[in-house]
Structure 1
Amino acid sequence: MGAVLFGLTAAVALPGQGVVPLAVTGGVALAFLLELVTLPVYDRTRSRRPLGRMAVMAGAALLVGTAIGWLNTMDVRGGLIVLTTSLAVPLGARVQYPGRHAPRTALLIGDRIAVSHLITQWNALPHIRMVGVCLVETDDDAGDQPRQIQGIPVVGSLPNVPGVAHDLGVDQVVVAPGPVLTAYDVRRLSWALEDSAIELTVATEVHGAVPGRIEPRLLGRRLLLSVRPTRRPALLVWLKSCFDRLSALLLLVVTAPLIAVLVVLVRRDTPGPGFFRQTRVGHHGRLFTMYKLRTMRTNAEQLRSELDRYNEGAGPLFKMASDPRITRVGRVLRRCSLDELPQLINVVKGDMSLIGPRPALPSELIEYDHWIRRRLSVKPGITGLWQVSGRSRLAWNDAVRLDLDYVDNWTMGGDVGIAARTVGAVLRRDGAA
């Protein structure tokens, strides 16, 4: 209701604006009332629908009023001021709300195999905390229930779910489908929880697809999840390529003096060239030469065999916390990600993209199966999900998963989000080697 009060205050404070700001305030109040009635209790404090509905209703009213001549420029300006004020209040509250990053507590429901899979997948996630398990077992297994599963206590069975969920004060009940748990069991759970603030969710086995690619459909009495294809429209691929090249060219012109200074520093630090050239694997397996500022000694590849026993990485990647091959200047460049600036040349040439999967080494292809080769269906990028999610801290399997998620769920908006997160990761030096 704070948005309504602030909107009303702005409407009253605006001199000579007539009834338009008051009407916009009324629209804001109506939008909040609709959300209060239609949204589930657990969704009222975290859903963005109220903000969207406020903007759509008030914006449509101003547009229609202007089109038919009811409103003049001053009326529209006053209405927009009230609308902006009303939207700013809940947005500011979301930013300042101390519990917005708190993990959501969950009670897991299902057989021990299905529940074990969920625990394995979610144990490392910071935004969920699993506090208990209600096992759903066959009659043969019911008498041999464990006390805990992977450290999560078993607190009951299917009939105990509503009471246990309320006693534990969980935010959500997560159902893991299995051969014993039926659709009718899920329906009865929804009835038992319908008057509470506890959310009921059903885990599915659709991996690697974001909600925007999934559309629920009903066939008979069976709910189907339609998964949209992952292929990118040719026009969007062309637009992304044009945007990448033009942006990289502009960035290259702007950063050219800095790159020149860094090349001099690299060459004065240790003997050898300022640039490092290495063959990498690009789009559809095509080899190209990737450019970086040199951060290691010139004999780094020869020294690699002597350091293999100190390898801390899994998979084909070599990782070493204090790699003695890295130079003094190179360590600073890596920490600030400045060594990657020359890759803008690769983007201008069309070998790489600004955002995409990590460019692979030819030696890595030996360990690629058809699953991992999916990474090569797009151009590699200077940055990507792997860089904003930990970079050198990531295990090989996690890096591959992030690359595949990017390939299958690419959007222009997603690229903008990754670019923004990259700036933050570089400033925080998050995961830099």
Structure 2
Amino acid sequence: MTAAVAVVLASALGLDLALAGGLAAGMAFTLLIGATRGYDLRRTGSGSHEYKVIVRAGWVWATLLITVLYVAEVAIEPIYVIGAIAGSLTAVLLARTLERALVRRRRRHGEWQRRTLLVGDPEHLRSLTMQLRQDPHQGLDVVGLCVNGAAPGWAGVPVLGDVTEAADVVAEHGVGVVVVAASCMAAAELRRFCWEVESRGVELLIAPNIEEVAAARVAVRPVSGTPLLTVAIGPSRTQHSIKVALDRVLGGVLLAGALPVLAVAALLVRIGSAGSPFYTQQRAGRDGTTFTMFKLRTMYVDADRRRAELLAHSDGNEVMFKMRNDPRITPVGRMLRRFSVDELPQLWNVVRGDMSLVGPRPPLREEVADYDQDAWQRLRVKPGLTGLWQVSGRSDLDWAQTVRLDLHYVDNRSLLMDLGILGRTFRAVFGGRGAY
């Protein structure tokens, strides 16, 4: 950053002034990042905070730099100034990305973790323990629990005391982070706990009684001096309109690009077995409405009739029927399924508005009949060509995991999430994991 600004200034100022100006600009950006907590080690490697801080600091820094150059009447071509700013921000973001990758790699191997104590009710802490164990990137190594009432430890984590003894446990076990379930302490008790551990320099995290809520949906809203969590429910009308437009436009573009692949695949299907190369099936769409879904045929023409005979041999989950070595699948069909080419005709469903590019997979009508109240919530949105299920294991997941992933998407859906899932879909498809 300092070098980029110095090079730009060198054309209008002397070398000494250019170096001094570059150094001042670099120090200013560093201070701005620090002022917005960009060097907070507690947040390193987790969430998008690091990138947001750099972008905000970069915006202020660029404004100040342009203002100073304008007031000082430094004769520099605007394109050079813009290039220096863009190059500096890109370099800082790249450096932070590499640093983040290093931290996450170390944490994945059990290093650079902070000793963490969980405090609260057993049921809440059991779920929280599992989540932290499955996500070592957060850097929180759960070393013990303080629970309300008598309860055994779980997942290899011991109970070190009850809630009232949490402050003593922090001191005895060198705890650096304390996660307190919001429901386990009254406001006055939590305040006293903070007084007791203040000298230990621990970080205090409050776990509200909510699950599967993306951070982007949550904000703190002070009301009469009390911080309250506000949780956004559902996307805005603008986001919904953009998603609909994106489905139709991008779906049409992808369909046009896929036509040559579809033509070759359809010819192979027809040569490989008798019958139409395309297959239609009635599926449940948004709010349970029925629509006709299109696929390339990957099974022999008598597959539907033989399904009942194979139900007892399902390798899928409790609701969705799947078989790793389904005898109804043709040799060509197996190859098409391996790379999800058989799903490409559903781009026409996307263009027609029956489906979305991203969403829960459209279920069969007989599967919907077995849904409980939670599973039915999968139908609150249009079914998708791809979704969290596809990029998280596909047919290898059990029914509870499938429902949890789909409901996480339904509750937290956003344009950024859709774009992320579309990007991960290519890796999942070419990896072929869970495809059968």
The TM-score, its normalising length taken from structure 1, stands at: 0.84
Task: Tell me whether 1:134 sits opposite 2:135 in the alignment.
Answer: no
Distance 1:265 1:29, change over 3 A: same
Task: Tell me whether 1:386 sits opposite 2:393 in the alignment.
Answer: no
Mapped to 2, the partners of 1:66 and 1:413 lie a distance apart of 36
Task: Show the counterpart of 2:96.
Answer: 90
Gaps of 5+ in 2: none
Distance 1:171 1:259, change over 3 A: farther
User: What is the aligned-residue RMSD (CA, Å)?
Assistant: 3.1
Classify the secondary structure of the residue corresponding to 2:158. strand
Amino acid at match of 1:16: S
Shift of 1:301: 1.9
Which range moves more in the overlay, 351-360 or 156-165?
156-165
Q: Deviations over 1:377-422 (max 9, x none)?
A: 3221101122112111222222222222222222222211111111
Amino acid at match of 1:154: V
Shift of 1:372: 3.1
Shift of 1:280: 0.9
Of the three residues 393, 396, 399, the one matched with 1:396 is 399
Distance 1:389 1:253, change over 3 A: same
Whether the aligned pair in 1 keeps the contact of 2:235 and 2:413 (CA below 8 Å) is: no
Task: Show the counterpart of 1:174.
Answer: 179
Task: Show the counterpart of 1:229.
Answer: 233
Whether the aligned pair in 1 keeps the contact of 2:176 and 2:203 (CA below 8 Å) is: yes
Q: Deviations over 1:36-55 (max 9, x none)?
A: 6x975523665415423431
Q: Deviations over 1:311-349 (max 9, x none)?
A: 233332112232222222222222211111111111122
Whether the aligned pair in 1 keeps the contact of 2:316 and 2:395 (CA below 8 Å) is: no
Shift of 1:262: 0.9
Of the three residues 346, 352, 359, the one matched with 2:349 is 346
**Identity within the alignment, %:** 36
Whether the aligned pair in 2 keeps the contact of 1:276 and 1:292 (CA below 8 Å) is: yes
Classify the secondary structure of the residue corresponding to 1:133. strand
Whether the aligned pair in 2 keeps the contact of 1:114 and 1:178 (CA below 8 Å) is: no
Amino acid at match of 2:118: L
Task: Show the counterpart of 1:34.
Answer: 35
Shift of 1:110: 1.9
Aligned residues between the structures: 417
Task: Show the counterpart of 1:141.
Answer: none
Whether the aligned pair in 1 keeps the contact of 2:282 and 2:364 (CA below 8 Å) is: yes
Mapped to 2, the partners of 1:43 and 1:121 lie a distance apart of 18
Mapped to 2, the partners of 1:325 and 1:17 lie a distance apart of 75
Whether the aligned pair in 2 keeps the contact of 1:281 and 1:359 (CA below 8 Å) is: yes
Q: Deviations over 1:87-121 (max 9, x none)?
A: 33222222344325457664221233443454466
Whether the aligned pair in 2 keeps the contact of 1:21 and 1:79 (CA below 8 Å) is: no
Q: Deviations over 1:62-107 (max 9, x none)?
A: 4545777946413443344334333332222223443254576642
Task: Show the counterpart of 2:203.
Answer: 199
Task: Show the counterpart of 1:4.
Answer: none
Mapped to 1, the partners of 2:314 and 2:57 lie a distance apart of 55
Shift of 1:25: 1.2
Q: Deviations over 1:288-316 (max 9, x none)?
A: 11111112222222222222222233332
Task: Tell me whether 1:16 sits opposite 2:11 in the alignment.
Answer: yes
Amino acid at match of 2:405: L
Task: Show the counterpart of 2:121.
Answer: 111
Mapped to 2, the partners of 1:168 and 1:247 lie a distance apart of 55
Superposition pairs of residues 311-350 of structure 1, within 5 angstroms = 311-350=314-353
Task: Tell me whether 1:99 sits opposite 2:106 in the alignment.
Answer: yes
Of the three residues 181, 187, 191, the one matched with 1:183 is 187
Shift of 1:197: 6.3
Distance 1:60 1:175, change over 3 A: same
Shift of 1:232: 3.8
Task: Show the counterpart of 1:421.
Answer: 424
Superposition pairs of residues 211-230 of structure 1, within 5 angstroms = 211-220=215-224, 222-230=226-234
Of the three residues 255, 258, 273, the one matched with 2:276 is 273
Amino acid at match of 2:166: V
Mapped to 1, the partners of 2:262 and 2:323 lie a distance apart of 27
